[in-house]
Structure formats: C-alpha cells, structure tokens
Amino acid sequence: MKILVVEDDPVLSDTIVESTKALYETVQAFDGEEGLYLAEQNIFDIIILDVMLPHMNGYEILKELRAREIMTPVIFLTAKDGIDDKIQGLRLGADDYLVKPFHREELLLRLEAIVRRTIGDYKENSVVFKDLKLNLKTKTAMIKDEQIKLNGKQFNLLEYLVNNKETILTKEQIFDRVWGFQSDTTNTVVEVYTSHIRKKLKPYNYDQYVKTFRGLGYMLSEEGHEHE
C-alpha cells in the first residue's frame, strides 16, 4: 500500500510517515505543485492532502485530479474546522476530512476505513486474489498451501496487480510504483518482471489471469484468457 503525503510542514509530514510506516509505504511532497505532479502519476492508493499549501492549495489539487478522472481516495488535512470548509472538500471529491491537530490513532483508523472500502481488510497484512494470498509482512506468496518464490520487485509488482485487479495498469504506472521515479533503469523492466511472474504462476495455472493489453499495459483479471 503506497500513500502520498502532501504537507508543507516537514515535522508533521515526518510524523505521518513514522505513524504509518508499519503498514504503508509513503512518498512525501512539500508544496502544491509537487503534490499535483506526483498525484497525477496515479500510482498511489491514498493521498493525504493538506489544504493550505505553497503554490497551489489542496482544493485546487483535488479539483484538477478529479477533472482528469484520477479517483485516488483523498483525506484532507486542515486547521480549518468550519462546516463550509468540510462541505467544499467533500463536494470536490474528498473521501475524508481530518482537522489538525489529530491523534495518530484517528489517522490510522481513517486510513483503515478507506482501505477497507477499496481493497479489503489491510490490517490482516495480506491481500488475496482467488486462492493466491500475499503476506505483506513477510513478503511471501501462497497458492493454497504452496509457497511461490518471488523476489522483492516481483512481489511488489504482483501486489500492485492484486490491489488493482480488473484495472489496466500502464507500464509507466507500474514502473513508477515499483521501481520509483529516480530509478536508473527503463520501463522495459516491467515486461521482464511480468514475464517472470507468469512463469512463477504457470504451475498453478494462474498465469492465465495476468492479461496483456498491447500498447497499454497489464491487468489481473478473473477472466482466464489473454487479451491481445
């Protein structure tokens, strides 16, 4: 699970990262323009978004994202507790609204609620697709009672596919999510790793669920045939 934190207060931003690191991988942005750029990559599962930011405020960022049909769940963070501010944020498409100062436990519960609505119970440290179960704590994959040997990036790629099943993920999205913006390799590595994953899943006949969309990307789908 990958979270984008857009917060210009470095102390608060670091506190959020520290509070969520047990379950979530976090990327930080410290102004509105940087936050919008990262959010537009559409590789995050949740965005924690401050309202008052340099260069571009949180409302403007969310409005732009929704106009581009990027529907990543958003939790607004703000010192403003007026009902009009909350209504504005929710009308723009926010999923939740957390007023500063807030307790760590409250943030975690609100994150958990959003995750539960989107991919299931993340507190169990696992994600599931049919009989395939990924343990996020031990980074292991099982089909029924048999373990599939995956290296780190293979596991991360498969987790991303499972979390976004029935959704086409472009090679660029997968590359940015799994290898990161600063990687010195190229996105052709996505094809190589997807091929490796298929080979690991083939003995269980699960390779059929990893579908290729030529010129677009990949999707994990319960329909068991390849789309060319």
pLDDT in tens, 194-214: 999 999 999 999 999 999 999
Sorted by sequence, the CB contacts under 8 Å of residue 131 that are 6+ apart come out as 143, 144
Q: Which domain does 76 fall in, by range?
A: 2-119
* Each residue's pLDDT tens digit, 93-133: 899 999 888 999 999 999 988 887 776 555 567 888 999 99
User: Are 7 and 71 contained in the same domain?
Assistant: yes
pLDDT(13) > 80: yes
- Residue 102 and residue 158 in one domain: no
pLDDT for 124? 61
- Give residue 210's Cα distance to chain centre: 19
Q: Residue 23 has what pLDDT?
A: 82
pTM: 0.74
- The number of domains in the chain is 2
Please say which residue of 97, 119, 141 terminates a domain. Answer: 119
Distance separating alpha carbons of residues 74 and 66, to the nearest angstrom: 11
Burial label for 203, CB within 10 Å (0-12, 13-18, 19+), is exposed
Domain stop point among 91, 119, 147: 119
pLDDT in tens, 18-66: 999 888 889 999 999 999 999 999 999 999 999 999 999 999 999 999 9
pLDDT confidence bin for 87, thresholds 50/70/90? confident
pLDDT value of residue 92: 85
* pLDDT of 227 over the 50 cut: no
Distance (Å, whole) CA 116 – CA 113 = 5
Q: How far is CA 67 from CA 70, 106, 167, in A?
A: 8, 29, 19
**What confidence category does residue 90 fall into, taking pLDDT thresholds of 50, 70 and 90?**
confident
* Same domain as 112, residue 139: no
55 and 41 fall within a common domain: yes
Nearest-angstrom CA–CA distance, 222 and 204: 14
pLDDT > 90: percent of the chain: 65
SS3 96: strand
Q: Are residues 159 and 181 in the same domain?
A: yes
The reply to whether 13 and 88 lie within a common domain is yes
Q: Give the chain's end-to-end CA distance (angstroms, integer).
A: 29
Domain annotation covers residue 226: no
Residue-wise pLDDT tens digits, 167-185: 999 999 999 999 987 777 8
